[in-house]
């Protein structure tokens, strides 16, 4: 007689490991017990963190230059994918299951980070306001240098973790830098003059798009405007209570 306590209705094939697959987009492997590999694996996630940041800025700030920057990143990724599937050069370590594509030339991480670092540096040095005192601009040089250092580390991490060869990382970085320079020139010379028209158009008003091109210090401008509006509303509330 069968033991009723051990009888189950679970299909034995229901939990077959072959039926499960990890989300490969953010899955980064590193040698077990390798602390440096762990740190570099986290640095490999920087492109995904930046994408989330751009999506957040686009949704909540609606600034046209930020949207143009993000559009360039998307275009850069599309070009990387097209080149990868044209060259079809394999990665140095084959057989990994959690990969977006098996092709490694050029490195998408390196191309992404160097596009970001190059465009970000050009934006800081050319697009943003300039102070008469060079010391006041040190934060811009520090931020630009930080972006370049992060791009170097991400490229190194892809070689260290055997996702790419040195040539794949170098070519990806070079392609990303060239694309960033061309896209920045296009945005600065052709698209920026159109931003006021886009912001004042019915579509721009519908989506509350903003053009901050002519504002020299956006953070200070928003801070002073919000403080002035808050004080004005506070005075109105105080006058109503006193009546």
- The torsion angles phi and psi of 165, rounded to 5 degrees, stand at -85, 170
**Confidence class for position 35, pLDDT limits 50, 70, 90:** confident
For residue 2, what pLDDT is reported?
44
Rounded mean pLDDT of 6-28?
Answer: 55
Bond from prior residue into 106 cis (ω within 30 degrees of 0): yes
pLDDT in tens, 128-185: 766 666 666 788 888 889 999 999 999 999 988 888 899 999 999 999 999 999 999 9
Q: pTM for the whole thing?
A: 0.80
Asked if the model's pLDDT at residue 203 lies above 50, the reply is: yes
Q: How high is the pLDDT of residue 14?
A: 53
CA angle 165, 171, 172 (to 5 degrees): 90
Burial (Cβ within 10 Å: 0-12, 13-18, ≥19) of residue 240: exposed
Please report, for the chain, the start and end positions of each structural domain, with discontinuous segments joined by +: 31-224
To the nearest 10°, the Cα dihedral for 22, 24, 26, 28? 90
pLDDT at 50: 92
Residue 17, pLDDT > 60, answer no
> For residues 130 and 137, is the Cβ–Cβ distance under 8 A?
yes
- Residue 222 to residues 31, 56, 65, 127, 195, Cα–Cα distance (Å): 47, 18, 16, 18, 19
Which residue in the block uniquely carries the two structure tokens 């040195």? 166
Q: What is the pLDDT of residue 33?
A: 83
């Amino acid at each position: 007689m069968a033991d009723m306590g051990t009888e189950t209705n679970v299909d034995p094939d229901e939990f077959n490991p072959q039926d499960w697959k990890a989300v490969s987009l953010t899955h980064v492997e590193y040698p077990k017990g390798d602390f440096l590999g762990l740190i570099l694996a986290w640095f490999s996630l920087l492109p995904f963190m930046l994408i989330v940041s751009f999506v957040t800025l686009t949704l909540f700030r609606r600034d046209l230059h930020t949207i143009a920057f993000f559009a360039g990143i998307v275009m850069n990724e599309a070009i990387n994918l097209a080149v990868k599937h044209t060259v079809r050069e394999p990665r140095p370590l084959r057989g990994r299951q959690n990969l977006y594509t098996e092709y490694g030339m050029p490195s998408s991480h390196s191309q992404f980070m160097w596009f970001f670092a190059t465009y970000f540096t050009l934006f800081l040095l050319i697009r943003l306001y300039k102070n008469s005192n060079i010391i006041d601009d040190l934060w811009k040089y520090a931020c630009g240098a930080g972006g370049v250092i992060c791009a170097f580390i991400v490229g190194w991490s892809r070689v260290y973790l055997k996702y790419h060869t040195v040539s794949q990382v170098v070519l990806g970085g070079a392609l990303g830098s060239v694309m960033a320079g061309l896209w920045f020139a296009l945005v600065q010379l052709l698209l920026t003059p159109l931003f006021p028209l886009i912001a004042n158009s019915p579509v721009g008003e519908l989506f509350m798009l903003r053009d901050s091109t002519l504002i020299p210090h956006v953070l200070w401008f928003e801070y002073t405007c919000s403080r002035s509006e808050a004080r004005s509303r506070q005075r109105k509330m105080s006058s109503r209570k006193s009546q």
